[in-house]
Every structure is written in C-alpha cells, then in structure tokens.
Structure 1
Amino acid sequence: MADSRMPAPPFYIDIFLQPGDFYFGDSDTRIRTILGSCVAITIWHPILRIGGMCHYMLPKTAQRQQHHPLDGRYAEDAVQMFLKEIKKSHTHPRDFEIKMFGGGNQFPQQNSGLFPISDRNIELGSSLLAQHGLQLKSQHLGGVGHRNVMFDLWSGDVWVKHVEKVSTP
C-alpha cells in the first residue's frame, strides 16, 4: 500500500515553541513543542496550506491592562492572535482544521479535590474556540504526563507522543 502522506519539502523551517510562543506561517514549516499542563492549538488551511500553533500556559490573565499587546501565554489572547492571522489571510475560521493537545495533570496527588490548571486550560480553550466558530477536528487532552507535539504545515499532519508520568517508589 502506498504512503498517501505529503512528503516534506526539500528544505523547511523547523520552529520550536517555548511556553507562551505563537507561530503562524506557510507550507515550508514544521512546528514542535513539549506540553505538560499547557495546551497547544494548531490551525491549518488545507487549500492554502497555511497555519500555526500556539503554546499557552494559563486560561487568562488576572489583570487586563487597557491597550495591552496580545500575550501568547494566555488562551484568550492566543485565540485572538489566530483570529488576527485568519483575517490577514482573507479566510474564514470555518476554513481551518483545528486540533488541540495537552493539558496533562503534572501533579495528580497534589491536585486531588482541586480544579487543576490543566483542566482550566482545556475548558477555556475549548470554549473560546467554539465561541469563534473554530470547530475542533481532533484532540488529545488531559491525562497525566507530558506530550511532544510536531505539526507539519505542508500536510496538516500532527504527531503526538504522550509520555505518562511514572511513579517511583
């Protein structure tokens, strides 16, 4: 059986997102990140082969400053950053494939009975996407441990390696 995946271009840009980073680009790009309780959202336009990824750390800022620049550390700002890029590309939110990853509980023993930041990141991120007409196509969320995420903008493929946290005696 033939492999139907689109091959990588001969030369491509490899971007690694740190927590709070945001990137939007074209088909000659691979974006990677590592997630714990943070969440990554990927968006991809299958016809134009443009898209991006964010790596947000918190649902929203505690104190909103008037006329503040958007800050990729927060879900509410990261979604606004995507909407700005969608508008600049003269496309519509419904034209993009949206995927969401992360939100792993890093300290399950310490968070029993609490609403951990990982769960709040997932909840608000999902809600914001729905509010703005960004429909999730795929997700890999929650659980325990961290994830390595790799997103190829030339194909829209996202690869996730979930490493569950192992308890030591």
Structure 2
Amino acid sequence: MSEPGFYIDIFLQPGEFYFGDRETRIRTILGSCVSITMWHPKKHIGGMCHYMLPKNKRPGHHNELDGKYAEDTMHLFLQEIKKSHTSAHDYEVKIFGGGNQFPGQDKRVFSVSEQNVEIGRDLLEHYGFKIKSEHLGGNGHRNIMFDLWSGDVWVKHVEKVME
C-alpha cells in the first residue's frame, strides 16, 4: 500500500506506547531499550512500544500500566487487541533494540539490554505471538520507523565502536 497523502507522525520517547490506524507512522530511537511493533495486515492497525526495563518492581504498580516496563507494554498491546476485536495470531510482530551502549565493559553482569531482549521474546511467545522479524543486540543504537498503512518497518543501526 502506498503512503497516504496525509499521515500522523508519532515519535515515541522511552516508556511510551502508541496504537493507531492506517494513517500513522511511528518512530523512535533505541539504545538498550526494546521496541515491539504489531501490525494487523487486514485492518491496517497496530502499534509500537518503547520499553526501558523488563519488570516493574514498585509496590502497588498493578494499579496502572507503565510503558517503561516490558510486562506492562504487553498488557497495553493486549488491551488494544481486545478493543479492536482481533487476536494475537492476527498480527505481524517484529522486535528491535537491546543494543549494548557500553561495549568493552565487563560482561559478567547480565546487562539490561540482554534482559530486555530476553523478556520481550518470552512475553511474545507466552501470549501466542509469532515473531516475523527481529533486529536485536549488538552495539550501538537504532532508528526505527513503522508505517501502519503498509506494515513496513525500517531500521537504521548505528554501530558503536569499542573504545
């Protein structure tokens, strides 16, 4: 499908989530954070998250979902899927990010970027989503652009060289 004559351009900051329709482009920049894109090829709806951490460990956090956390963003997606009367297996799912921002540092500690990647994959599998494409790990950051009219996702990976 070609680009519409007019579209809404959404830029996600860390911790933000957006779900919209065919007249939307969603963009973000990722370091150790992870974005998941979901697109419904028949309805041309979908969304993207930009989570920073795997789990929300704050007391009382179950009262409100927070897009900073992978577990919460999955529930945000599930709410939107339910509202749109679709199901998980209807969506094309892609996952990006989890880049190491400090190459050359001691890797004995399981890094946040690796935890973000692992929980993203685990949550998607747990809720019945199939990953169509991924671009994860490595060093540096990524620019992501997702067009809801076509389902296309563009990734520009900027490698960070070890110093």
TM-score > 0.5 by shorter chain: yes
SS of the residue corresponding to residue 56 of structure 1 reads coil
Offset, 1:67: 4.2
Q: TM-score, normalised by structure 1?
A: 0.93
Letter in 1 for 2:66: D
Whole-angstrom distance in 1 between the partners of 2:84 and 2:103: 41
Whole-angstrom distance in 2 between the partners of 1:167 and 1:142: 15
Query: Quick one: which of 85, 109, 127 aligns to 2:122?
Result: 127
Letter in 2 for 1:151: F
Q: Which moved more, 1:103-112 or 1:50-59?
A: 103-112
Q: Which moved more, 1:56-65 or 1:27-36?
A: 56-65
Corresponding residue of 1:15: 10
Distance 1:101 1:67, change over 3 A: closer
Q: Over alpha carbons, which structure has the higher Rg?
A: 1
Q: Which runs of 5+ in 1 are unaligned?
A: 1-5
Q: TM-score, normalised by structure 2?
A: 0.97
Query: Quick one: which of 60, 63, 66 aligns to 1:65?
Result: 60
Please show how residues 17-166 of structure 1 align to structure 2 within 5 Å.
17-65=12-60, 67-166=62-161
Whole-angstrom distance in 2 between the partners of 1:66 and 1:10: 41
Letter in 2 for 1:78: T
Whole-angstrom distance in 2 between the partners of 1:104 and 1:84: 28
SS of the residue corresponding to residue 86 of structure 1 reads helix
Would you say how many aligned residue pairs link Structure 1 and Structure 2?
163
Offset, 1:41: 0.2
